[in-house]
Structure 1
Amino acid sequence: MGLEKEKSETKVLVDHIDGDDGGDLSRSMRPILGWNEKVSRVTEDRDPHGINTELQVGFPDIIGEPPGVRSFDAVWICSHAALELLKYSLYRLLTALLAVPVSFIAGLLFAVTSCINIWLITPLMRSCVMAMSPVKTVWSSWTLLFVEPFFRSTGRCLASLTQIVT
């Protein structure tokens, strides 16, 4: 649990269509921002329970051109690169600014909630259960002495009635 030192060297890959003289650019959906080979390594899974799977958004999830209308290849490539670069750099900037304060607030919130639950709510509920034991005894006695005989006799009286359908 420490600070990771990682190089953030990225490169923009622009491919030409195979067999072309270089006039057209490839419109493939491969990631444009590729990691440098010396930086690329297997990192630990930071979302092992998959709680943020809906945030895995790529360029084709946001922008798509139908075959009938197409922009210039350079516009397509540059917009793809701009989206990936902005998403990458802005996410890094926002996490650098907000991760520690939000984690601090979340930790504070969980600590206060745990403290209230452990030191106030649980003892209060246990005290109520202990204090209600005599009330439970009185209530069950009252029910057995007065309520149950009344409803038992009422049930016997009403059971002798018959319904005549004409």
Structure 2
Amino acid sequence: MAEQQQEVDLLNRDPNSLNSTTQVAFEDVLAEPDGTHSIDCVWSNSYKCFTCGKNCCYKLMSTLCGICIALYWGCEFAMITFEMVWCCTPALKVHSIMLGICQRFLGSCIQCCLAPLCETMGLCFSNITISKK
């Protein structure tokens, strides 16, 4: 079966809100309390510098490293999937089969040896009566 190529959503780049904790705006980092305000031009230019610096730095870092890091993580998750499909799941199936046989064997031993003993002890103790005087 051919794999369908999905289109990348260029507008909503975090549809599952994985990085909601890193959404940082100027107002989340810098704030002046009432009664302590800088000059208006300093505040407005600080906003512009913060926003421009954050955006430029992020775009530069993602341009330099983003493709390589995406390739690394793609390979990492491919290896994890490969390991699960070809190693872990079959090994779990083998253990499940082998332990199922052990469970049946031990169950038979308990039924043959321990069950009659417990039944006998139960019969012995069932004849005990307690009376209050």
Shorter-chain TM-score category? 0.7 to 0.9
- Name the TM-score, length of structure 2 as normaliser: 0.78
Q: How many residues align?
A: 126
- 1:103 is matched with 70
Structure 1 distance, partners of 2:75, 2:124, is: 64
Q: 1:149 to 1:71 in 2, by over 3 A?
A: same
State how 1:10-89 maps to structure 2 within 5 Å. Answer: 43-89=10-56
Q: Gaps spanning 5+ residues in structure 1: where?
A: 5-42
Q: 1:140 to 1:87 in 2, by over 3 A?
A: same
Structure 2 distance, partners of 1:158, 1:104, is: 71
SS in 2 for 1:100: helix
- Name the TM-score, length of structure 1 as normaliser: 0.64
- 1:154 is matched with 121
Amino acid at match of 2:85: I
Q: 1:68 to 1:164 in 2, by over 3 A?
A: farther
Q: Which has the higher helix share?
A: 2
SS in 2 for 1:69: coil
Q: 1:67 to 1:152 in 2, by over 3 A?
A: same
Structure 2 distance, partners of 1:155, 1:135, is: 28
| Offset, 1:162 | 6.2
Amino acid at match of 1:109: E
Supply the RMSD in Å over aligned alpha carbons. 2.6
Deviations 1:121-162 (A, max 9, x none): 111222223334432321111111122233333344445556
Indicate the structure whose relative CO is greater, using CA pairs within 8 Å and at least 6 residues apart. Answer: 1
Deviations 1:6-29 (A, max 9, x none): xxxxxxxxxxxxxxxxxxxxxxxx
Q: Percent identity?
A: 25
